[in-house]
Structure 1
Amino acid sequence: MRIAFLGLGRMGRELARHLLDEHDVTVWNRTAAAADGLVGEGARRAGSPAEAVDGADVVFTALFGADAVREVVVNARLPIPAEATWVDVTTLSPAQAREFAAWAAEHEVWYAHSPVVGSLAPARARALGVLLGGDPEAVRVAEPLVRLWAAPDRLRVYDSAALAAADKLVNNLALAVAMQGVVEALRLGRSAGLSPEQVLAALDGSMLTPTVKAKGEALRSAAYSDTQFSTDLLAKDSRLMLDTTRLPLPALTAAAAALLDASRRGHGDDDFSVIAADDAR
């Protein structure tokens, strides 16, 4: 298939790479250098989004958020060919997914929303959780493509793009709240006389064990630059969750405030576990 892939951030590069063996892939990124590695592996570089989608059967977007999707696709009136399939990997709110599905329908484009669950290591290993929802025709076309980076038992298909978006937000809420749980455990332990290492040991076997296992080394070494999921991204997603809910989310509200504070202090590009940095010392 002729595939255009727009957006080559950390995750976008990993996903686009999995398409190269089986498909003709053209890539575009606002910062052109981000495409260098993929071009070296056989992708074609486009100078603009419009050039990238010319003649494409499938268009992937993996952008920072809804505003970026609007800028690149909607406001720019991106000339995606009629009856092509647009697969948006960008994390969105359900309302935003409905917005882009409506735009696609108006322009005779099949739309699917397919965010991923997981970080860079499972992306490289083709072991991500993958969510997929949208037009039946878009889902039919997208499913074999997104399976290229999905774990065999971790693809969930919905009958609407909005439900796939909601699933993704629920997953990211768990990330933010669990990390905030580690922060508060460290604070409680310190108040009661435990060292940070003793607190991390105390959490072994607890409901927070997966988070400690995933982020413990970063906490112990105070090294947060090996970013699996950035502070800025999770802060942005937390705002989507708070905008979507009709009910209070106090744990998420605390985590969102911590993420925003870390971002304002210059840690936006660091791994989101940096919100525990001050307490893990």
Structure 2
Amino acid sequence: MATSPAAEHVDEENARGEETRQGDCLSSTGVVRLIQKTIAEVVGTFFVIFAGCGSVAVNKMYGSVSFPGICITWGLVVMVMVYAVGHISGAHFNPAVTITFAIFRRFPLKEVPIYVLSQICGSMLASFTLYEVLSPKPAHFFGTTPAGSDMQSFVLEIITSFLLMFVISGVATDNRAIGELAGIAVGSTITLNVFVAGPISGASMNPARSLGPAIVMHNYKGIWVYLVGPIIGTFLGGSVYNLIRFTDKPLREITKSGSFLKSMSRNNSL
């Protein structure tokens, strides 16, 4: 049966429309946002590890940073990166935090593998960069290893990670908190934890922080402590905060939030 020119024109338009819809699907808002969040996590984790582990390496090699300087560096770099990309990705930089958010349904489960992979890649890139630039010897290892027994460091990692997640839950997931202070609160918590647990366990609180240097410098001593401890600690910290989250205040009061908190809520709802 012959096809009229008008019908052929309609078929061509339909074909072009289908191609356009397919293109829109491939470049949908959700995909673009996920790519943006992935890049933010890689970049954020890179600079957290580069600055924090860099201070450890420089101190071991040249002795010019000091232990208090290392503590402050870790806190400051986390604070800076939270404010830099928190409104884009939520500024996790930590697989344990991402997993805990997903467990309590404050982060999409399907995005967990992408976030965790991004954080590990960022840590490995930063560790490799430090290794190539500074050329550290094995004695200058800038990862984390237990100073005492593995169990001692394991307990400390659980406690410090508990405190970190407890604070994050308060300032980043509770609408009653002052969202603009999230970066300061989280950075200060990390500084305090490093002061207390740094000389014993290294105060990792972050599997990616320990895994990147371990892979690059081939030092896996007590690595299980830093893969398991932070996950247990963040889960417990998130659980305890959820027990005290509820309030009898009117809805109009508990839904008030700052700009930073709103952006965190949007990221966790995507």
Whether TM-score is above 0.5 comes out as: no
Indicate the structure with greater helix content.
Answer: 2
More strand, by proportion? 1
TM-score (norm 2): 0.26
